Amino acid sequence: MNADSPVGFFDSGVGGLSILDAFKRLCPDEKTVYIADSANCPYGSKPAEEIVRLSRANARKLIADHGCKMVVVACNTATAAAIDVLRREWPDIPFVGLEPAVKPAAFASKTGIVGVLATQGTFNGRLYRETKARFAKDVTVIATVADELVMLVEKYVKVDSPRPKLEEIDEVMAAVRKRIEPILAAGADAIVLGCTHFPHLRRAIENVASGRAIVIDPSDAVARRAKSLIVDLLCQTTASKRMAGLEVPHFFGHENVSNPVNKG
């Protein structure tokens, strides 16, 4: 593993930029490659077999074409359908996936009711079902599919452009209210952003939920996990070189290069 190799990210579109942004805040010196598969967005309503096929193609491009040392599956739906397949196909490459943050929501809730915004593909996945069964046995979970919010993010957020203030767009706020108000009316006091498109709407959702519910965004937790795996990889590489009597390079402080790749 080359320490200067990039970290790869892919999503069905621009949603995973929320994870990339969190990672770059934490690891500003790491090179990155991002694939936005906008031509096939959304993944959430597709059959699992198709999601696996698309995810394998994205991972192959990141690993074979760009030499990525690690791949972040910056898509809840792709994680649910494909991460086990990807790990089997590339056993030497670390893959970081996502799952809805049901656990912290369940622990934080005082009403015993939490809302989860995600795609149908995520709700159908093993990770969500297992996490819900393990950590949300004593709470009511309101599972809400919100594909129209995914497409609104795709409409307004672009890979190479500054992130827009979606909370200032009337069309966005109307769509957010339509999805969030029923969750709040049901008594939820915690709302999980279970799709990487939804952190782009965090301020809009917080504006609607203000004073009634907290909004849980897993982006920073995913970035911390990715960083920890990079540290592990660098430690392994350093140890191997020292055992072989080779010169050990300095791993940190190299040039900051960001290489977004728009596959859409």
Catalytic residues: 75, 195
216: tokens are 């849980």
String of DSSP letters for 152-182: HHHHH--TTSPPP-GGG-HHHHHHHHHHHHH
Beta strand spans in the chain (E): 7-11, 32-36, 70-73, 95-96, 113-118, 140-145, 190-193, 214-216, 258-261
> Closest Cα partner for 33 from 262, 198, 199, 251?
262
Residues 6 or more apart whose CB falls under 8 angstroms from that of 174 comprise: none
Side chain identity at 153, as an amino acid letter?
V
Angle between the N-to-C axes of helices 219-243 and 17-26, in degrees from 0 to 180, rounded to the nearest 10: 50
